[in-house]
Amino acid sequence: MDKISRREFVGASLAATAGVLNASKSALGDSENGREPSQMKVGLYTITYLGIWYRGDALPLKDVIKRAKQYGYDGIEIDGKCPHGHPLVMSKDGCNELRKVADGEGIEIYGLAGNNDFSSPVTEHREAQLLYMRELVRCASELGAGTVRVFLAWPGVTQQGQLASYDLSRAMWQADHKGFSDEEVWSWCRDGMVKCAQYACDAGVTLALQNHAPVIHDHKDVLRMVSEVNSPNLKVSLDAYIMPDHSPQAVRQAALDVGPLQALSHFGGEFKREADGSVRGPDYYSVFVQAMHEIGYKGYLGYELCHELPKVNGQTVGIEYADQCAEAAAAYMRGLIKTYAA
């Protein structure tokens, strides 16, 4: 994930943003004119505490649930990697026990996040990914999680010691795909998604395809795949922070294009409290949340901290940095959603 520049963080394109917001407010009306209150919720994606981006161990899922409760989140999305939500560590009894813990804290387990790659030129690799996704959908059903986030392609991460990096895995992905056409890769991904959509149908689960590179370039690619798979169990996870164009017009139009297909969303970045207690974020998030309200989205906006983190005195920051970001991110997004809770 690209880091947010200071200019973008503080106030880039203010004039354009104001124009889009005013136009949207005019279309939506206000509380006096019968505007429906927002029903969006704030979630915590457990990749934030997987122990591969900060210095320190992964936080057990039961403790992540407690953090979510403490920081004011409504639910959690469990990452489908060890030691959190991979099928290798998620037995049926374990799923039932975790659901009881979450219920006791008043935290919803709303999703499970797949880390699948159907783009590999190697047939056996794609078949292994199908098995992973079939079992992940099973886990989601046992957890009572209605949604599974999916990719078309995911290069993965490599770890040196404990800490993760994208650099090597992305280079490997590019090398593996040399000599294969975009349409060949697309067809492999489509075949994988067709099978996964059937798994989801059988389990009563919805798949949410994220607008994530490398095979997907923008939300139009997501919508194309959803159309070609043609299953009611495959919908969209449109995420603003990975859009190629963060202009207010582009962000709002993408949301309108996706419309009722939107089933899940995420937001990312490094958040902190200012001296006055406020939390700032990129301008495009306010445009995105307003557009989500406009299309009637009632699901989760899940926070994720999923990139290489700063170093202090030569060492990558520890779990306390993840805590700081998670607490501030929840406050930030609750504030944006509250704007539409009239």
pLDDT in tens, 209-256: 999 999 999 999 999 999 999 999 999 999 999 999 999 999 999 999
Sign of CA dihedral 225, 286, 303, 339: negative
For residue 235, the domain's CATH number is 3.20.20.150
Judged against a pLDDT cut of 70, whether residue 342 lies above it is answered with no
State whether residue 296 is helix, strand or coil: coil
- Give domain status of residue 187, yes or no: yes
pLDDT number for residue 13 = 37
Q: How far apart are CA 99 and CA 121, in angstroms?
A: 38
Number of domain units in the chain: 1
User: What integer best gives the mean pLDDT of the chain?
Assistant: 91
DSSP state letter for 53:
S
Domain span at residue 315? 6-338
State whether residue 167 is helix, strand or coil: helix
pLDDT number for residue 280 = 95
Give the confidence band of 5 by pLDDT, cuts at 50, 70, 90.
very low
Buried b (16+ CB within 10 A) or exposed e, 73-90: bbbbbbbbbeebbbbeeb
- Give domain status of residue 202, yes or no: yes
In this structure, are residues 117 and 129 in contact, taking their beta carbons and an 8 Å threshold?
Answer: yes
pLDDT number for residue 38 = 82
Q: How far apart are CA 195 and CA 185, in angstroms?
A: 16
DSSP state letter for 179:
T
Mind listing the pLDDT tens digit for each residue in 271-297? Answer: 999 999 999 999 999 999 999 999 999
- Give domain status of residue 259, yes or no: yes
- Give domain status of residue 285, yes or no: yes
- Give domain status of residue 1, yes or no: no
- Give domain status of residue 212, yes or no: yes
Per-residue pLDDT, averaged over 298-321, amounts to 97
CA dist 291 → 66, 224, 282, 285 (Å): 31, 21, 15, 10
Mind listing the pLDDT tens digit for each residue in 115-134? Answer: 999 999 999 999 999 999 99
Mind listing the pLDDT tens digit for each residue in 37-78? Answer: 889 999 999 999 999 999 999 999 999 999 999 999 999 999
- Give domain status of residue 203, yes or no: yes
Judged against a pLDDT cut of 80, whether residue 27 lies above it is answered with no
- Residue 302 burial (CB < 10 Å; 0-12/13-18/19+)? buried
The contacts of residue 291 (CB under 8 Å, 6+ apart) are: 24, 251, 252, 255, 256
In this structure, are residues 149 and 237 in contact, taking their beta carbons and an 8 Å threshold?
Answer: yes
The closest alpha carbon to 218, from 194, 188, 245, 249, belongs to 245
- Give domain status of residue 163, yes or no: yes
Residues in the chain: 342
The contacts of residue 127 (CB under 8 Å, 6+ apart) are: none
